[in-house]
Amino acid sequence: MAIPNLRRRLGDDRPKPRLVVAERPRETTISLSEIISAMSFALDLTEDAMQGHALRCCLMGMRIADEIGLPESERTSLYYALLLKDIGCSSNAARMCSIVGGNDRALKAGAKLEDWTKPHRPTASAVKLLWREAVPGKGVFRKAARVLKIGLTQHRNNREMIQLRCDRGAEIMRKLGMGDVAAEAVRGLDEHWDGAGYPEGRKGVDIPLISRICAVAQHLDVFCSERGAPAAMETLRERSGRWFDPDLVEAAETLYRERTLFLDCSPRDDQEITRRAVLQLDPGDHHELPASRIDLICEAFADVVDAKSPFTFRHSMGVAQVAVDIARCLKLPDARVTLIRRAALLHDIGKLSISNAILDKMGHLTRDEWTAIREHPGLTHEILSRIPAFEEVALIAGQHHEKLDGSGYPLHLEAADLSLESRVITLADVYSAMTEGRPYRIGLEPAAALQLLARDVPTQLDKRCFDALVLSVTGDVAHNFTSVVH
């Protein structure tokens, strides 16, 4: 079973309870830093970063802010920009995959270790990376042609990729209510001190200070995670005055000499210790989030997931709407409808771990590719379960591919283990997927989708939920889908 591997990837080897939902929602509260710090683990997946990357960046970035005396008025913007700096990264995944013809996540992770500002002088490691990831499984001549094309169009591609990510990231930051300062910090993450960065080629102090801090913190964690702290500092010094603000490099040097820069910031450190340290640095007001803000955050992260592939555009929002319609027809209490909607919005957050080479594949999936697909509900559960107030959301969202007869995945749960809320989301997800287009087929008309779904009622799909779906779609309680066993 793949779940133990998922736990190791997320730094959590604790045994997990069976995914069973309680009868009534628990009264729990949540702060902004709690939910964002937990959801940052999902953003780590988009770039194939070592889990806890955003948390470690936050710790180091806030320490640099202390060292330079960043005004208190800018601390909150920096804090959330560090945690959410990668929130736009899913938006360029499909385009990256089409350019390379291979694993977009692997290329993104490897690219962070290369200096792509010198396309006329590519390093041997950069060429090796492209050769490994470009059109895997194809002949040497096709691979060589793709690598050459990438090299010749690198500057244009870099600008396009970063523009997509930065614009989308800034847009989502504003949707989250993080304000213009934090949004512009995310937009300017890949600008370089010497003006050779992207997307606008800003230079020096024209780059927002918070962007400059985020860039240094990101560099430090990426290189420390892969090559160790000494190598991270060596490369930081080498790029001082080119990529990075020399004053910030000096601040990082001071913290490094004092042995505080990487404190609790190693990928080998317990991620929950790192997260607690991040939560202690929260410069905000620590007030409980209102329900409307929680819903907004769920919607924003649904946008992050849906942006990953053109074939799943608005999928999470669509599933949420169908699930709410079913729940309303079932006359569930408002609290349960809210629970269902949040779980539906976030049900595919684990899909950020899957390469677009798999998600957008035209042909049949291999066994390994199917394994990657089947892991995503478990990842969804692992990420959301880090938020205590989302215990039920995590359980329900993690069950969205389970079936009543035990034929689902990843845990092969059966009817006795599956709550009504889980059954609602499972049906909403299947119906939405059938009516949406995919790389290998066009979407079905609602009536055709309902006819096909009826074949799996009540063996795999819940009859009450199906009847409610039919009512919400057709307005007719007395449907005539004779495949349903009454």
Whether 118 is catalytic:
no
- Output the pLDDT for position 478: 57
- Output the pLDDT for position 281: 93
Which residue in 351, 361, 403, 463 is the catalytic one?
351
Cβ 214 vs Cβ 252: under 8 Å: no
Q: Which fold has domain 3-12+19-26+289-474?
A: Hypothetical protein af1432 (1.10.3210)
The domain 32-90+159-280 belongs to what CATH superfamily? Hypothetical protein af1432 (1.10.3210.10)
Cβ 25 vs Cβ 336: under 8 Å: yes
Distance CA 275, CA 383 (A): 13
Phi then psi for residue 455, to 5 deg, are -65, -25
Instruction: With 0.85 as the threshold, say if the pTM is over it.
Output: yes
Distance CA 358, CA 369 (A): 6
The two domains 3-12+19-26+289-474 and 32-90+159-280 share their CATH topology (first three levels equal): yes
Distances (CA, A) of 37 to 34, 81, 215, 240: 5, 11, 19, 29
Distance CA 293, CA 284 (A): 15
- Domain range summary for the chain, segments of one domain joined by +: 3-12+19-26+289-474, 32-90+159-280
Per-residue pLDDT of the chain (486 residues; tens, 9 = 90+): 333 343 343 444 433 333 344 444 454 689 999 999 999 999 999 888 999 999 999 999 999 999 999 999 999 999 999 999 999 999 888 888 888 887 888 878 887 887 766 656 667 777 787 778 777 777 788 878 888 887 778 778 888 889 999 999 999 999 999 999 999 999 999 999 999 999 999 999 999 999 999 999 999 999 999 999 999 999 999 999 999 999 999 999 999 999 999 998 888 888 889 999 999 999 876 678 999 999 999 999 999 999 998 888 889 999 999 999 999 999 999 999 999 999 999 999 999 999 998 998 888 899 999 999 999 999 999 999 999 999 999 999 999 999 999 999 999 999 999 999 999 999 999 999 999 977 767 889 999 999 999 999 999 999 999 999 999 999 876 566 654 444
Q: Which residues lie below 8 Å from residue 320, measured CB to CB, with a gap of 6+? A: 302, 341, 344, 345, 428
Cβ 400 vs Cβ 347: under 8 Å: yes
